[in-house]
Chain A
């Protein structure tokens, strides 16, 4: 089976960076005006699953490179393409158009691989699910999105624990389900596959 994700034995992020990231997203009352959203795509998607309509959530992301880039260099690897904090929210463009508990299946727009470090979630049973679309390749070009979940087959899933680095291949279609409120995570993105090359 292809490696969709792996829970990594990598150093915990110091509390000061976690606090900075949480404050950063809390200070952003309007994430589309006050901070540069590094992840502007994947907004306004209405998806269906089992005949039910959902308003796909979105995941605006803000740079943390000046804050913790050196720490990532020193403790994880220096081969990253970006370091940021992502704050998963209901999309402002689809308010009232469906239940906003799913971030629908997609491949990422800005990276091929990811280390994700969950720092806050309202409910611990949020699931990251990996999919393959019928008659399509497992690895997809960037920013591929799926609107009908009944056309994809689940191939793996993980309930990402708090404060733990998790490697993901973000060119495999993936989504997050059962987000009842907050989901905030640090992201270290890669264009090259970092698995096996972490410096510590």
Chain B
């Protein structure tokens, strides 16, 4: 089976002051900090019902955060940021709280390291999917809107404060997000697996 994800226990923890900085960045997101990735409203059909997917805007961190990643993880990153899971309010498709971000491939990277730093519930999980008749690895920004025919191939409940590698060209979704989910993201265009400079 293809490697969808790997929990990278051996990679160094992010220093507490940098985690605090990332949380502060997310808390200030309403004050004009531009997000790195395009956020679009995605209407999905699941179990015959329409939903408006959660989204995951990502914000740039201070340069010294980038320096820490370069020194302690890898220098081959393409972007570093902190992302927070949100719902689009006042949508006719949101019958109560939407608790998932639908399956997609990422727009801005092919691989990522994630480091969850805040979450409302510990049983949030990332699911990986394959669309019947299609390759496992998909081009950037592939977004199926009909979900019932997708086949789940793997899932991981990402532990807090632990780096998790995953291949973002495999369709993936975030499930069971009951409220908050904040994570540091390090994106790569080249596969960083096995090449982290200090692991």
A residues adjacent to B (C-beta < 8 A) = 77-81, 107, 112, 137-142, 171, 190-194, 196-199
Task: Tell whether, in the assembled complex, residue A140 and residue B190 are in contact, meaning their CB atoms are under 8 Å apart.
Answer: yes
Q: How would you classify the secondary structure of chain B's contact residues: helix, strand, loop or mixed?
A: loop
A112 to B190, CA, bound (A): 6
User: Once bound together, how far apart are the Cα atoms of A79 and B140, in whole Å?
Assistant: 8
Return chain A residues, CB-CB under 8 Å to B169.
191-193
CA distance in complex: A78, B131 (Å): 14
Distance A193 CA – B191 CA, assembled complex (angstroms): 9
Asked if A139 contacts B137 (CB within 8 A), the reply is no
Measured CB to CB, the closest approach of chain A to B49, in angstroms, equals: 29
Interchain Cβ contacts under 8 Å between A and B, 19 examples:
A79-B138, A81-B140, A112-B191, A137-B192, A139-B76, A139-B195, A140-B190, A142-B78, A142-B190, A171-B191, A190-B139, A191-B140, A191-B169, A192-B110, A192-B137, A192-B138, A193-B110, A193-B137, A193-B169
Task: Assess whether B197 is in contact with A139, with CB atoms less than 8 Å apart.
Answer: no
Q: Are A80 and B139 in contact (CB under 8 A)?
A: yes
B76–A137 contact, CB under 8 A? Answer: yes
Number of interface residues, chain B, beta carbon within 8 A: 21
Q: Which residues of B contact A137 (CB under 8 A)?
A: 74, 76, 192, 195, 197
Give the docked Cα–Cα distance between A137 and B196 (Å): 8
Is there contact, CB below 8 Å, between B189 and A112?
yes
Chain A residue with minimal CB distance to B106? A191
Residues from chain A with Cβ under 8 Å of B75 in the complex: 141
In the complex, per-residue mask of B129-156: 1 if CB is within 8 Å of any chain A CB, else 0 = 0000001111110000000000000000
* 12 additional A-B residue pairs with CB within 8 Å, beyond A112-B189, A142-B189, A192-B140: A77-B135, A80-B139, A112-B191, A137-B74, A137-B197, A141-B78, A142-B190, A171-B190, A192-B110, A193-B191, A196-B135, A199-B135
Q: Which residues of A contact B74 (CB under 8 A)?
A: 137
Task: Select one of B77, B105, B137, B192 contacting A194, CB under 8 A.
Answer: B137
Min CB distance, B68 to chain A, in Å? Answer: 17
In B165-181, which residues have CB < 8 Å from any A CB?
169
Give residues of chain B (66-84) contacting chain A, Cβ–Cβ below 8 Å.
Answer: 74-78
A141 contacts B76, C-beta separation under 8 Å: yes
Q: How far is the CA of A112 from the CA of B192 in the complex (A)?
A: 12
Q: Is the CB of B136 within 8 A of A197?
A: yes
